[in-house]
Amino acid sequence: MFELSFTLIAFLTSMLTAIIGLGGGLLLIALMPGFIPAAVIIPIHSVVQLASNASRAAFAWHTIRWEYFCAFAIGSVVGGLIAVQFIKLIDIEYISLFIGLFILMNVWTPQVFEWLGKLKGELFTIGVLQTGLGMIGGATGPLGQVSLMRRNLNKDEIVTTTALFMSFTHITKLAAFAILGVNIMIWWKLMLGMVLGVVLGSWAGTHVRTKVNDKIFKQVLSILLSVLAVRMIYIILFANS
């Protein structure tokens, strides 16, 4: 039942992202603490989100804007290498705290990401930050998406190009976790079920993307993410004290 429940959750969160372009990864990682050990939350999340993003990009591959990828990819590798040097200094029990704070910042202070997007070497910088912060906070897709939204791309181009960015980010993160010696293979049944769930979710969401009211959906999602983030922070700071 544990694997089946998270397979269904993975399906729904992946479909959400395929429809509106963001939120599914944040929602998924917000639900994982308390059910999965803190030390493997982010690498397991990376495996699942790699499948989600890669499938979402593949189902509408002709809309990807490849000209933005190279600078981002180089920055992503740099960010992963930097993060490997610092993540060893972080107490794994507090990773959920970082995730919760990161979610709240995504939802309620998007101007932070808009400011980051104005830096010189924008896509390279976003690649560094998206992968580097992702090693700690888990779901950093809004970083790249904010940049793409300012380039007058259509909805499908934003969704699929963001998915390409995040696919490479998760590949880089998994390579970094492998360097750190993190072993997640004992969770293979859970990961297999969730991977199947997100691929089906990407397929379903791609087909209903034009039929959902984005504004209402994003408002509901913001409230739900905030509640989950506060729960994560409370558990770390108070429930275990």
**pTM higher than 0.85:** no
Range 77-111 burial, b when 16+ CB lie within 10 A, else e: bbbbbbbbeebeeeeeeebbbbbbebbbebbeeee
Pairwise CA distance, residues 210 & 176, whole Å: 37
Sequence spans of domains, the chain:
2-239
What percent of the chain shows pLDDT beyond 90?
A: 29
Amino acid (1-letter code) at residue 34 = G
For 45, residues 6+ apart whose C-beta sits below 8 A from its C-beta are 25, 28, 29, 32, 138, 139
| Span 92-136, pLDDT tens digits | 667 777 777 877 876 787 666 566 556 667 789 888 888 887 787
